[in-house]
Amino acid sequence: MPEPRPDLTILSTRVYRGPNYWSYAPAVHLQVDLGVLEEFPTDALPGFTEALLALLPGVGEHSCSRRKAGGFAERLEEGTWLGHVAEHVALELQRRTGAEVSRGKTRGTAGRPGVYDVIYAYADETVGVAAGKLAVRLVNHFVQAEEGFDPADEIERLLLLAQRAAFGPSTQSLVDEATARDIPWMRLNSGSLVQLGQGVHAKRIRATMTSQTSSLAVDIASDKEMTLQLLSAAGLPVPQSKAVRSLEGALEVAHRIGFPVVLKPADGNHGRGVGLDLRDDAAVTKAFDVAKEESRRGWVIVESYLVGSDYRFLVVGGKMVAVAERVPAHVIGDGTHTVAELVDIVNSDPRRGVGHEKVLTRITLDEAADDLLAAQGFSRSSVLEPDVSVKLTLTANMSTGGISIDRTMEAHPDNVEIAEEAARVVGLDVAGIDFMAVDITDPVREVGGGIVEVNAAPGFRMHTHPTVGEPQYVAKPVVDLLFPPGAPSRIPIIAITGTNGKTTTSRMVSHIFKGLGRKVGMTSTDGIVIDERLVIRADASGPKSARMVLQNPRVDFAVFEVARGGLLREGLGYQRNDVGVVLNVAADHLGLGGIETVEQLAAVKQVVVEAVPRDGFAVLNADDPLVAKMSRACSGEIVWFTMSQPGTPQWKRVDDHCRHGGRAVVLERSDLGDMILIKHGRRSMQLAWTHLLPATFGGKAIMNVQNAMAAAAAAFAAGASMHDIRQGLRTFTTSYYLAPGRLNVTEIDGVTVVVDYCHNAAGMRLLGDFVEKLSDTPTDDLMRHRRIGVIATAGDRRDEDMRELGEVSAAHFDVMVIREDKRLRGRDHGEGAALIEEGGRTAMAAGARCGVIEQVHDEIDATRRALDLAGPGDLVVICVDSHTAVWSEIQARSQRAQAGTRADTTTGDPDLQSALPFD
């Protein structure tokens, strides 16, 4: 038996930012390989469990599958695999940073011994990924010690990373309040820029500055001289002041208004560069350079010094919501420790951090602190007598190490009125009004004092986490300001997934709601469309594109095509959808991303159903057994759609559902044609004849009949009226300009050309059915007598899927021209085309319709070859990859034909035509 060695390695890392295949909540997914450690569960590694629990005792308290505290410790003793251990270590490391995470799972990978999928929750994705990497390193270290690796140091680095990545207290309080109200939010950068709400309802915050904060008011508040002038003009108590640019000017103003004075930068913040209680020319001279250095524009304010304590009034929407007394950084003697030692003791408080990362800021001993100590008769090495208090800063800002005492209930009403009026004068929606007063319980107009500063984007931590007193929930009025009670924060989201038909159905739904006057944001494989304008041309069926739509301030309705790839990479780009639509599940994309079976593929697409809330709807295809099973995963209401007829099990399921008050869209067949009906309870409402819907080509395109039914069901669930749904479907066409690459039909010199994105066997069966019906339709007294297909699929499909596509295609076309995509996706040139041809020739040997198979690998060359082979009355079907290039080629040929300048005036290859069978 091999010896254990540190073989645990990470094969891949994924971050799911929304509901996903593994978890409804955001999660990190590590695929790990245990190597030789597959042979060594924890009970076979002497000392492993003891070392792990010594470093991270909290791991042993995890409940794991035992559903009780200490359950994971039992699993460690009994023996569990190291991938599972890495999961729990990653969770515990995050909990060390203060994150509240507990959910995870570890699963073996079928057919790959020793390879495991490790999934665990995260609060911040940067920290979550780092925790996973450190967890793997720690597990390996406990198997065999890594030279130079100090676990404690690495954990400390993770804690520092978490502190840098975390929101500040002010931003976090607003995000927490939004979460409590079910207001969606997304972080827009690595700092504190956050969007609250979606689309047209979205608001932004950056710390405590909101999207409603006036930029002019911020400019005024940043100009301290202008602020004091405006406040003075409004009759509010302020100190005498003057802005100067030179030391001579500062000394002149100081003498004119009288000592003591204050010097501060005209556009500074956080108390930087402020000199207080300056009593002579020497003090002013020393403070001037400090203040000017902090001023971006070189102006320094000289103002009279108001005696008293420092108070901060927080005013939101013109109303005072909190008052705090700010006490400058200081230490209190104990008769034993020096000033420097006392500072270290104070800084050891876990509530203190660097800058604004925690509720208190660490005290810094700098040159200014040394000067202040000297002025009080002390130094860093002085041992203070018991209860002797020594100031370390003159300013009382929290950012310089000060503390706060809540005084909200003590402030005199006159002082409250003054603070509120000051916020209105400056024009700030969220303002911090700094008062100097002997006692805030007395009116400053009578006892002296006044406003010394008005702050835009004031910090909340002195109010939410006061050192002394009751916390004030100041985030609530700010969120009230952005989202008054009853105001919406979400836009309706319809998410559409399935193997085939997603894009067309998404376009149908978007078209219906555009007719209602909605500003629809849609994502699909063709790009991002905002209010019918294509703004990004790309495969935009993933979560990143969905988030882009939700950030757009014009969008009031979202329709998302949800593809398998995006779900596996990142999950959904949002937390829930009001309507989730699953059209079908067929064998496509198998063998990719760990999805080997069609049942696993169905589980991936089921994520859209799981994201439906209790008051939402899941629109499901009752005719597809895999889709029908998804009804069990839905928290909301089911809306079925079915083309099955009475007497079938599918019809019975739908009929029973409607008898119990449910909703469904069904197809009623009669001698007059096929009628789409919407059923709600025992009511049955006629929507439209299928042959009157342009996208169905007189009812021949069964795939679009089904897509139209799904779109109708989704629109009905989202609140559209029967009239609006009917009008939308009757005006939706599959013209290239409305639905590029999806069953676009045109004619060139008597040849009917169909352009479609079909790329798998399931889609080809439906497209083949359409070809059969279209070929049987007389046109200008000629019968369509030949069918020529340009066939291809993506190179990352399985060999058997490519062969099956060839077999199905051979059943419907006389000539198959097999091409390849420009991106071969890991295949050799010609390899995919050969597999499709192999399937086609197998079908030909069994008597399939096809008589000729050619390979023309370039897409445009294949298109030209198919059109060259066709004559009047023939049908050419081109399965495209780049629909834009193919359509341009078709239009160019059409223009030449109309001008009578067609280069090849024959009706095709005569030798080949003589070999083709006729209908």
Q: pTM for the whole thing?
A: 0.86
List pLDDT tens digits, range 9-20: 999 999 999 999
* CA distances for 441 relative to 310, 311, 576, 681, angstroms: 13, 11, 49, 66
pLDDT at position 294 is: 85
Return the SS3 of 269.
coil
Does the pLDDT at position 677 exceed 70? yes
Residue with tokens 């589980």: 603
Pairing of strands 579-582, 617-621: parallel
**What CA–CA distance (Å, rounded) separates 204 from 489?**
12
Instruction: Assess contact for 490 and 482: CB atoms under 8 A.
Output: no
CA 476, 197, 542, 716 torsion-angle sign: positive
Does the pLDDT at position 648 exceed 90? yes
pLDDT at position 916 is: 44
pLDDT at position 784 is: 45
Instruction: Assess contact for 440 and 311: CB atoms under 8 A.
Output: yes
Return the SS3 of 754.
strand
Torsion of CA 326, 332, 338, 340, to 10 degrees: -10
pLDDT winner (highest mean) among 102-116, 369-383, 703-717, 732-746 = 703-717
Query: Radius of gyration of the chain from Cα atoms?
Result: 36
Does the pLDDT at position 911 exceed 50? no
List pLDDT tens digits, range 328-350: 888 999 999 999 999 999 888 88
Q: What is the mean pLDDT of residues 527-552?
A: 91
pLDDT at position 913 is: 46
**What CA–CA distance (Å, rounded) separates 545 from 564?**
14
Q: How confident is the model at residue 780 (pLDDT cuts 50, 70, 90)?
A: very low
Across the strands, what pairs with 876?
A: 753, 788
pLDDT at position 849 is: 92
Across the strands, what pairs with 272?
A: none
**What CA–CA distance (Å, rounded) separates 666 from 486?**
37
Q: How confident is the model at residue 777 (pLDDT cuts 50, 70, 90)?
A: low
pLDDT at position 599 is: 94
Residue with tokens 């039992």: 74
Closest C-alpha among 292, 355, 305, 365 to residue 330? 365
pLDDT at position 1 is: 65
Determine phi and psi for 912, rounding to 5 degrees: -70, -40
pLDDT at position 739 is: 84
Determine phi and psi for 432, rounding to 5 degrees: -110, 115
List pLDDT tens digits, range 599-643: 999 999 999 999 999 999 999 999 999 999 999 999 999 999 999
List pLDDT tens digits, range 246-270: 999 999 999 998 889 999 898 777 6
Closest C-alpha among 552, 547, 654, 563 to residue 608? 563
pLDDT at position 357 is: 58
Residue 386: Cβ-neighbour burial (10 angstroms; 0-12, 13-18, 19+): exposed
Q: How confident is the model at residue 491 (pLDDT cuts 50, 70, 90)?
A: very high
pLDDT at position 915 is: 44
Instruction: Assess contact for 573 and 610: CB atoms under 8 A.
Output: no
Residue with tokens 């350079």: 289
**What CA–CA distance (Å, rounded) separates 487 from 320?**
23
Residue 819: Cβ-neighbour burial (10 angstroms; 0-12, 13-18, 19+): buried
pLDDT at position 537 is: 86
Does the pLDDT at position 300 exceed 80? yes
List pLDDT tens digits, range 283-295: 999 899 889 988 8
List pLDDT tens digits, range 381-423: 999 999 888 988 877 777 788 889 999 999 999 999 999 999 9
Q: Which uninterrupted H or E stretch holds 614? A: none
Residue 737: Cβ-neighbour burial (10 angstroms; 0-12, 13-18, 19+): exposed
Closest C-alpha among 617, 629, 523 to residue 576? 617
Residue 47: Cβ-neighbour burial (10 angstroms; 0-12, 13-18, 19+): exposed
Percent of the chain's residues with pLDDT above 90: 71
Does the pLDDT at position 811 exceed 80? yes
Q: Which two tokens stand for residue 33?
A: 């390989």
Does the pLDDT at position 779 exceed 50? no
Q: How confident is the model at residue 356 (pLDDT cuts 50, 70, 90)?
A: low
What residues contact 108, with CB distance under 8 A and at least 6 apart?
A: 115, 116, 117
What residues contact 848, with CB distance under 8 A and at least 6 apart?
A: 807, 810, 811, 840
- DSSP string over 122-182: -SSHHHHHHHHHHHHHHHHHHHSPPTT--HHHHHHHHHHHHHHHSPPHHHHHHHHHHHHTT
pLDDT at position 3 is: 86
Does the pLDDT at position 774 exceed 90? no
Indicate the length of the chain as a whole number.
919
